[in-house]
Amino acid sequence: MEDNKTSKALVRFVVIMLILALIAVGILLFVRNRKKNVDFSSAVVDKEVEMSLAGSSKCIPYDENGDSSGFLQYDSDGITAYNSNGDSLWNFAYSISNPSISTCGKFTVVAETNGRNFYIIDGKGNVKDYTIDGEIYTILKADVSANGVAAILTASDIENHIFVYTTEKTEHIVDIYTTVKNNGIPVTIAISDDGKKLATSYITIKEGKANTWLTFYNFGSVGGNKEDNIVGAFGYEDTMIPRMTFTSADSFTAFSSKGIELFTIPEIPKVLKTDGRATNTPTISPTPDPEGVNKNLEHTTAVTETKEYQLEDTYNEIYGADKASSDETKTIKDTFYNDIYSCLIVVEKDNKLSVEIYSNETGKFQGKFELEEYKGISLVNDKVVVYRDDSFKVYNFKGKLEFETDKLNDKEIEGLEYVFSNGKKENGLLLLCVNKLIKVSFE
């Protein structure tokens, strides 16, 4: 009898604990959902700091402490890193008429476009300066990883190199050699957050059309077992890819003249979404270098019967038009991304603007909605912020307007130049105006 009572008590105890556990899970889900779906009914100014964005200076987000809460301000005379309170973290003076800036984690690379010098800066403002080998080569693009590995795309009228550097050495550790005749014209590069993977975009002009090759290199153990460390190559006909990035160590986004290309690349690249009909089965055999040069990691993807173009003439042909190349239904006006999502601003047939959002992790479509004319757009966590000189609006991915204002603390917004995320905080913004920084959260 006693055993029976004990069994019933144990059952009651287990049932009660299960009920309490379910209640706890319900509360947790409610809180998380409420946090995710912030009520943007009012904005609170957490901080306002006087600062100047006058002149030709530009700003980009900076990962000051691992949560993307800072920003970089730069021009032809130097660069300064700030935290979200507007405090200067470090600065570096230089004289570069057209600097190429890239940042990842706490590292930043500053390169002299059309020159030979570049600098790698760590999170404490320590600077290492470099000069690329070969007087005939000039820098087109620079990119950097979160551990300070820098990839430098260089070019000349005949041959090109992609050099990879680390902060431990002054000499390059990788040299990818290509020629205009056999491999095409280099457009851009991107290095992964961990510095182990590299992507390149090259074009060839054939019958008046620009064809693009995306090539992926892996400098880890997997790539070491592949010829020239190449782990994937994808061709795109009548398509240009002038902008691309690793949004994480394993996710890659390329913005093309036809839309967006999304890849997952833990080791070997796999297409998640393509608007340019990517194929990784080349129909044209690589052409060997005519001089038989076999330098380290030589790029072997090439297209025969390539029309000869001078670099300057080709870039003018590609970028000289006021609008991007388009397919039959839409034109790509602008692109933007964060570590979770990538987006396109599209001009539709009726000339109306719309934004399309995709997941970097899955490649799946997340939402689309119409836009009015704007000065700038920022993707802040899972919100789209559209702003003008004197106002800003916050939308969710379905196009629901969640907040809009032209005043903060009863003061009119003036000279709004940039809107960045206030770190990983779900509902925080940094507004950079011509003469002030405004730190905003929502209730």
Residue 117 has pLDDT above 90, yes or no: yes
Residue 304 pLDDT greater than 80, yes or no: no
Using pLDDT thresholds of 50, 70 and 90, give the confidence band for residue 277. low
pLDDT-based confidence at residue 3 (cuts at 50, 70, 90): low
The more confident residue out of 36 and 272 is 272
pLDDT of residue 329: 45
The Cα 395–Cα 401 span in angstroms is 5
pLDDT at 17: 63
**How does DSSP classify residue 326?**
B
The larger pLDDT score, comparing residue 314 to residue 171, is at 171
Q: Which of 402, 208, 217, 176 is nearest to 307 (CA)?
A: 208
CB under 8 Å to 4, separation ≥6 — which residues? none
Tell me the mean pLDDT in the region 414-433.
Answer: 84
**At residue 31, does pLDDT exceed 60?**
no
What are the angstrom distances between the C-alpha of 175 and each of 128, 136, 243, 324, 332?
20, 16, 22, 32, 34
What would the mean pLDDT of 304-317 be, rounded to a whole number? Answer: 30
**Both tokens assigned to 327:** 């397919």
Which comes out higher in pLDDT, residue 379 or 28? 379
Report the Cα–Cα distance between both ends of the chain, in Å, rounded.
Answer: 59
> Which of 246-260, 383-397, 409-423 is least confident?
409-423
Which segment, 15-19, 27-31, 358-362, is predicted with the most confidence on average?
A: 358-362
* 301 vs 388, more confident: 388
Average pLDDT taken over every residue of the chain: 81
Q: What is the value of pTM for the model shown?
A: 0.80
User: What pLDDT was estimated at residue 313?
Assistant: 34
Q: Are 397 and 371 in contact (CB under 8 A)?
A: no
Higher local confidence (pLDDT), 102 or 37? 102
**Number of CB atoms found within 10 A of residue 408's CB:** 16
User: What pLDDT shows up at residue 328?
Assistant: 46
Q: What pLDDT was estimated at residue 63?
A: 82
Lowest mean pLDDT among 2-6, 306-310, 313-317: 306-310
Structure tokens that stand for 277 in this block: 């009909």
The backbone torsions φ and ψ at residue 412, rounded to the nearest 5 degrees and listed phi first, read: -70, 140
Mind listing the pLDDT tens digit for each residue in 149-170?
999 999 888 889 999 999 998 8
Over the range 202-212, which residues count as b (16 or more CB within 10 Å of their CB) and which as e? bbbbbeeebbb
pLDDT mean over 107-121:
96
Contacts of 339 (CB under 8 A, 6+ apart): 68, 247, 248, 251, 360
pLDDT in tens, 75-89: 999 999 999 889 999
- CA–CA separation, 111 and 113 (whole Å): 6
Task: Write down the pLDDT at residue 19.
Answer: 61
